[in-house]
Structure 1
């Protein structure tokens, strides 16, 4: 379990589901500028930043090529890590084909599974959230195909102009890939991530479970000492998590904040 201390006056920030590039480059651009403004704002007091996946609506790392665009976001992340602020990335269902670019170019560790962190003495389980808990069997089967080394090897042989365009089309049109079939609160008994968290609590205590994927800002007490937090998204809500060293809360970014 990685430990991070939060110095006095500093905070740890969490964000998820920006889906940059969707539904089109032009429509995504204002959202990207808003996200970059948020990064620029929080770098003043950030002890660490966690990005919980689907930063891009599609991302695939060929051996010598990455998808075109997102220059402002990547440049700002490079500026932040160069300044000494650690950034941690968890792949989502739209950018699960990461393979070294963030580590090599941005000095950002990338995780493909939920990870445990001890933040200022509070225990966190952090991840994107796709494919966890009961149900969603169709997506789970599809994810096994997408993450299979043979599938990745075959896709790598597609010319990037065709491969990226195909993936962008499917990420918007295929609800199983996009994960936005049920962007409404289903009730605690039907929220797979809530059920997943409760099962994890039977094995080990966590003060906070922090996930994305659902595109809904949620704060749900699991018991007297544990809380499930979903970060929402940067499409409809522009919400993020802020941990001040003692407690985690959801906040909404407004340009007037910075």
Structure 2
């Protein structure tokens, strides 16, 4: 992607809309929609790195109720010609065509590499990457198993969605969420993952979400790891202006 002069690339992650309740998350949704409305003015592209919703499951003819303002704003942005890219997180693993068909947003289930001008980015949500986190990795295999998804799809949405929302909030092993405290570079699994990826190929920036903790860590003299934080307590996002990636706080 060639970045036109004056245009920027924006990154955001981990809104968890609907948590702990739709009513309580509504002000956060309003704030995020306001941010989208502002960045669309100079955005060449917008990357959403997962967990936009605290739970999302696509039945063949049904999607979860709510999030109308967010979905409408995303449709408006893509209709205007600004591309939006989505990476599924551990709370919205079960995307299966709705974003592509209704919003014209490509959805990725694994990290991807992008090049803006001559700068390379390696982008993903971040769950289940690197060493450790074995309990969640086992659980993720169950959740992504086609047979398990088939059985869940046959559960009535009123029951299935309510059950999933309860587990998403209450069971941290199922959700895959980690403690939101800096563990030190040697114990941050995504830092270790990025350093391992650098052994096989150089990337200028590694950008992930999932940790709910804003971080910028130099991996070596030419590569940096950025974690986007979240839109629950931090309201952080990243912006690339063609030369540098900056992690910023949205204060409005």
Secondary structure of 1:113 counterpart: coil
Secondary structure of 2:227 counterpart: strand
- Deviation, 1:239, is 0.2
Select 1:190's aligned residue among 181, 187, 195.
187
Q: Does 1:159 align with 2:156?
A: yes
- Deviation, 1:180, is 3.2
* Counterparts of 1:157 and 1:109, CA distance in 2: 26
TM value normalised by structure 1 = 0.97
Select 1:116's aligned residue among 100, 108, 113.
113
Find the counterpart in structure 1 of residue 169 from structure 2. 172
Q: Does 1:232 align with 2:196?
A: no
Secondary structure of 1:196 counterpart: helix
Contact 2:10 2:237 (8 Å CA) reproduced? yes
Structure 2 residues without counterparts, runs of 5 or longer: none
TM value normalised by structure 2 = 0.99
Contact 1:240 1:252 (8 Å CA) reproduced? yes
* Counterparts of 1:143 and 1:72, CA distance in 2: 30
Find the counterpart in structure 1 of residue 251 from structure 2. 254
- Deviation, 1:99, is 0.1
Secondary structure of 2:143 counterpart: helix
Contact 2:86 2:107 (8 Å CA) reproduced? yes
Find the counterpart in structure 1 of residue 95 from structure 2. 98
Secondary structure of 1:140 counterpart: helix
Q: Does 1:77 align with 2:74?
A: yes
Q: Does 1:17 align with 2:14?
A: yes
Select 1:211's aligned residue among 190, 208, 212.
208
Task: Give the aligned CA root-mean-square deviation in angstroms.
Answer: 0.6
Q: Does 1:66 align with 2:47?
A: no
1:81-112 Cα deviation digits (max 9, x unpaired): 00000000000000000000000000000000
Find the counterpart in structure 1 of residue 47 from structure 2. 50
* Counterparts of 1:205 and 1:177, CA distance in 2: 33
- Deviation, 1:178, is 2.9
Contact 1:17 1:213 (8 Å CA) reproduced? yes
Find the counterpart in structure 2 of residue 35 from structure 1. 32
Structure 1 residues without counterparts, runs of 5 or longer: none
- Deviation, 1:254, is 1.6
- Deviation, 1:119, is 1.1
* Counterparts of 2:31 and 2:196, CA distance in 1: 37
Secondary structure of 1:78 counterpart: helix
- Deviation, 1:201, is 0.2
- Deviation, 1:6, is 1.0
